[in-house]
Structure 1
């Protein structure tokens, strides 16, 4: 099978989905919890993510259907209700991810010197976040999208900036400043590292987008597998590097301004040369660009994913037009509206936790599916088992963290979850319900 994208483009898409805005949005939230041990949270989350990636890859290889977790559930379980619930969970995860990127976009936009936090007593952060979502909804409706070649360049630039930040940061901490690097080894006991890993899990969700666009990838089964195995370890390495530098150079900023701590760390190390303002500017502009492109790409992918769900009768056709050419306008508008509301009223910690929880559930479920198929040829049961254990460990820890730190958010998540599950069951079991509706009631409908 021939396609327009090879391994290089596939790795770029996967890395762009993970690194695009994840590190800028997640780092401060995770560092407030685990501080110097933040790097370990990314390592643990990355290990579970690559095991989930293995599960996706083997199911994609042994199955007859292509298309990710929803298709896998349909084929290997044969239950459209479960498949639809997985699809809905993914959509909510995408909404949470876009809201997270929009929140971070606004924080960096308002972090520049001279930019006010509010006007007339009205905080500007929610306003800027909503405007960012509206901008990229408009661009998607207008049909703007990134080509494979452009994606290679954009991802190379984003990765290059972060690697340069990390390498120079470690050099600054050692030979230049003579400051010892703290790894937070004493914090690696107890539940804190697991909490950090669970919250940071959303930063590893971009790779699975490859499974929804296989018709454009050359030799998709093999290429996607290689891209997953390359992109996730590279993302882990970059996250660990950036986390070590930021927590060691800007510990005060993490407590006071966690959302822009990475820019403060860049300012600290370039301040040695009298270029502190330049360091803050470069990282902040990079963050704006990265979070903006992440909003655009995730909205684009989520819109097309919604269209596929509608075409499979797994989502109401009021959400998207299954026959639409190109970007499904209705889906993008609906997802954009939900995202705008979420990013306007939620905190970054709550939004990040909500998005991570959605992907933890889906990745854990897909790993469980692969573990069930372990008797098939060339399926190693260990990686799926790690994915299952990680998912089942992360989910309750995430909920406990929300209950302990943000009880209002915890109850909000439970209410939203109960509402979504109820709506899913009403939609997917509507045929069964119809057969049990009394004739007199049926006549009143």
Structure 2
């Protein structure tokens, strides 16, 4: 029985999978909390998050081209820094992205049926786990449709917000100016929260074993997906800020819905709500896909139960890992808090990328080291600029992972 995954994804599919996991998370989940932190400095926070994400993306792309296997930074850390750092990266990724999965599932529930958000979230996890079980090509096909729908809805929001008059009769672009309400700490905290939205390009790297010609495909797909996502984020943020202002944006439970209402286009509310649910489904689909591949890689090396490394003989997917991840995410979606999940996830993912940048540093060339150094510093600064509760919880979980590794290593030595 073959334990290798099928290489079926080209540049277009890889870009679409990355976009599917970025666009939904950023616009519909992180924009409001980031505005509360940064105030009128929201666009600065978006720029900082994008700069750190770019450095991480380039480090990840270079490493993925060198090591085209499932697992992402788990593999890179193991190969470049040693088993412990690979393990710690994988641990941070799985824990952080499991929280992301729960957040996206709850976003679906909040928009589809607010009174039964947890039940809808669990149903969404079960349905998308079944889609992933059928093969990565089917997942990529569904993601294509989701991305097209979401981009159409966001384009409509931007057009309505910038083209229609606000309550005052015209869009107030003075609201885009940075005022006294913005602070360096608030901008950095917003950047840390918005980084949650950019982290989707990791899905391309974690699918390295299923990409055709990875040395060429991955370095092209990662920056392309990131650049498209940044353009979309910037356009939507400018449009919503120009209509609502930073204060109302930060207070809005559904910022894009409030933006179209303020632009005298309340008829678009059902469209925006539907777009939000579809976007969150796209992110959830890609997130479950990525977490299951890292689980597969760690199970192959014995850091997780080895049965999770099984590959389905017909569909050629890590079916046991996908079922296990789906079960854990379903439990989290039934019990988790949406707002707290974002900060916790950001800390774990930033820790993951810190290890990716250190791994890229060891590749040696000056341009690679420069990018990796900026990425590492950016990850550390943004991680510890997050809300204190997120920092405390994230640090505790990362430390627990390190302790488990040490305990397992000691037991292995004593045998």
Which residue is 1:298 aligned to?
287
Choose which of 165, 172, 176 in structure 2 pairs with 1:183: 176
Which residue is 2:40 aligned to?
36
- Which deviates the most, 204-213 or 333-342? 333-342
1:161 is paired with a residue of what secondary structure?
helix
8 Å CA contact 1:34, 1:192 repeated in 2: yes
1:214-240 Cα offsets, whole Å, 9 max, x none, are 344343222211222222122112112
Cα distance in 2 for residues equivalent to 1:103 and 1:39:
26
Choose which of 83, 103, 106 in structure 2 pairs with 1:103: 106
Which residue is 2:190 aligned to?
196
- Which deviates the most, 153-162 or 225-234? 153-162
8 Å CA contact 2:85, 2:355 repeated in 1: no
Which residue is 1:426 aligned to?
407
User: TM-score, normalization: structure 1?
Assistant: 0.81
Which residue is 2:322 aligned to?
332
Which residue is 1:81 aligned to?
84
1:5 is paired with a residue of what secondary structure?
coil
Displacement after TM superposition at 1:253 (Å): 5.7
1:36 is paired with a residue of what secondary structure?
helix
Which residue is 2:381 aligned to?
393
1:135-156 Cα offsets, whole Å, 9 max, x none, are 4345445669635455434323
Which consecutive residues of structure 2, in runs of 5 or more, have no partner in the other structure?
1-5
C-alpha distance 321-382 of structure 1, shift in aligned 2 (>3 A): closer
- Which deviates the most, 37-46 or 342-351? 342-351
Choose which of 53, 57, 71 in structure 2 pairs with 1:53: 57
Quote the RMSD (CA, aligned, Å).
2.9
8 Å CA contact 1:25, 1:104 repeated in 2: yes
2:306 is paired with a residue of what secondary structure?
coil
Which residue is 1:402 aligned to?
388
Counterparts in 2 of 1:29-428, with a 5 A limit? 29-61=33-65, 63=66, 66-67=69-70, 68-77=72-81, 79-110=82-113, 117=115, 124-141=116-133, 146=138, 148-172=140-164, 177-181=169-173, 182-186=175-179, 187-250=181-244, 254-258=249-253, 260-271=254-265, 276=266, 278-317=267-306, 320-325=308-313, 326-374=316-364, 376=365, 379-398=367-386, 401-403=387-389, 411-428=392-409
Cα distance in 2 for residues equivalent to 1:247 and 1:402:
27
Cα distance in 2 for residues equivalent to 1:30 and 1:110:
25
Cα distance in 2 for residues equivalent to 1:431 and 1:371:
31
Number of aligned residue pairs: give it.
404
Cα distance in 2 for residues equivalent to 1:238 and 1:102:
22
Cα distance in 2 for residues equivalent to 1:413 and 1:70:
18
